Chain A
Amino acid sequence: KAGVTQTPRYLIKTRGQQVTLSCSPISGHRSVSWYQQTPGQGLQFLFEYFSETQRNKGNFPGRFSGRQFSNSRSEMNVSTLELGDSALYLCASSAGVRLTEAFFGQGTRLTVV
Chain B
Amino acid sequence: AQTVTQSQPEMSVQEAETVTLSCTYDTSESDYYLFWYKQPPSRQMILVIRQEAYKQQNATENRFSVNFQKAAKSFSLKISDSQLGDAAMYFCAYRGPNAGNMLTFGGGTRLMVKP
Contact = CB atoms under 8 A, between A and B. Distances in A.
A11 to B, nearest CB: 14
A63 to B, nearest CB: 20
- Of the listed residues B33, B37, B101, B105, the one surrounded by the most CB atoms of chain A closer than 10 A to its CB is B101
Interface residues of A, number: 26
B59 interface: no
B78 interface: no
B100 A42 contact: no
B57 to A, nearest CB: 16
B47 interface: yes
Nearest to B1: A59
Contacts of A42: 105-108
Interface of B: 33, 37, 42-47, 50, 52, 91, 95, 99-108
Interface in A24-70: 31, 33, 35, 42-45, 48, 50, 55-56, 58
17 contacts: A31-B100, A33-B102, A33-B103, A35-B103, A35-B105, A42-B105, A42-B106, A42-B108, A45-B102, A45-B104, A90-B45, A92-B45, A92-B101, A97-B100, A99-B52, A104-B44, A104-B46
Q: 4 tightest A-B contacts by CB?
A: A104-B45, A43-B105, A94-B101, A56-B102
Chain A interface helix/strand/loop/mixed? strand
Given A35-B103, A90-B45, A92-B45, 13 more contacts: A33-B102, A35-B105, A42-B107, A43-B91, A43-B103, A43-B108, A45-B102, A45-B103, A45-B104, A92-B103, A102-B101, A102-B103, A107-B44
Contacts of A56: 99-100, 102
Given A42-B108, A43-B105, A101 B47 contact: yes
